[in-house]
Structure 1
Amino acid sequence: MTGQDRTAPTAAAIEELARAALARIPAPFADHLGDVVLIVEEWADDETLDALEIEDPYDLTGIYAGRPIGEKSSMESGALPDRIHLYRRAILDEWVANGEDLVTLVHHIVIHEVGHHFGLSDEAMHALEDFAG
């Protein structure tokens, strides 16, 4: 599905692609993703954009909200679950602008956000993406 198709997928379709990307993540990483909540929204809210100092909501396709696994303690309680937010309109804009396959684009975004869950470097995220590709 390329951006040239110009048919805007629904939030449910983006979520389905994201879940498929999560399903391709290999063990042992996949073993630590069961409690991560996946949320697809139209846009990032103003609070999120302000916190990241992003002015244009089209510049944020996804974000990980939570604490990386290496920073967690078994003594913690009452925290919100870790979340991966995907922003449909920004994803669609990038999809159309770049002409990249939507499956590939969503996979890339999901792997990047999963990488933040694990506290991975950008280099390690690329290696995980190649392995889960």
Structure 2
Amino acid sequence: MAKLDLDALKAPSLDDFQALGQAALESLPDEFRQLTGEIEIRVDDFPDDEALDALGIESEFDLLGLFQGVGLAHASAVEYTGMMPNRVWLYRRPILDYWAEHDETLGAIVSHVLIHEIGHHFGLSDADMEAIEAAAD
């Protein structure tokens, strides 16, 4: 058995999370991805105070992700100049904290957060989102 080099172990970086989020997005069923149109994956260590305040969340560790934008079902036929693209924020430190406490792969957690952020925004039920997660696997 190879010896584990503990000095070489590092937490996944923001870039690693960006890649995980993009891979999770690409693994989603097409009909689900089409709900949001073009969507960006953004990563930060923690949510900003504005997001926490808007959601009434006290601890920055309690928010794993956030959807920002307007889905195709809610968008008007006319696009407005300066309209921000749809995006999902993934918050690295809260996700890593969750990962350390649960028996799931990091990729599965990132995929779950992504699906739920998009799904809740569009009013999908938990059963709908579970079916989407199963299809993504």
Shorter-chain TM-score range = 0.7 to 0.9
Partner of residue 115, structure 1: 119
- Whether 1:22 aligns to 2:60 is no
- What are the Cα deviations for residues 14-71 of structure 1, in whole angstroms up to 9, with x where unaligned? 1111111111112223345552111000100000000000000000000101123321
Q: Which sections of structure 1, spanning at least 5 residues, go unmatched?
A: none
Q: How many residue pairs are counted as aligned between the two chains?
A: 129
Given the alignment, which residue of 84, 89, 92 partners 1:88? 92
Determine which of 54, 66, 71 is the counterpart of 2:57.
Answer: 54
Structure 1 stretches of 4+ moved >3 Å: 30-34, 116-119
**Contact 2:35–2:73 (Cα < 8 Å) also in 1:** no
Distance in structure 1 (CA, Å) of the matches to 2:133 and 2:70: 21
Q: State the SS of the aligned residue for 1:39.
A: strand
After superposing the two structures, state which structure 1 stretch, 102-111 or 28-37, moved more: 28-37
2:47 is paired with a residue whose SS is coil
CA distance in 2, matches of 1:68, 1:123: 20
Say what the alpha-carbon RMSD is for the aligned residues.
2.0
Q: Tell me the secondary structure at the aligned position of residue 73 of structure 2.
A: helix
Spell out the pairing of 1:58-77 with structure 2 (5 A cutoff).
58-77=61-80
Q: Which protein, 1 or 2, shows the higher relative CO under an 8 Å CA cutoff with sep ≥ 6?
A: 1
Letter in 2 for 1:114: I
Q: Is 2:136 the partner of 1:132?
A: yes
The letter of the residue matching 1:105 is: I
Equivalent in 40, 43, 47 of residue 40 of structure 1: 43
Using the size of structure 1 for normalisation, the TM-score is 0.86
Offset, 1:119? 3.8
Bigger CA radius of gyration: 2
- Structure 2's unaligned 5+ residue stretches are 1-5
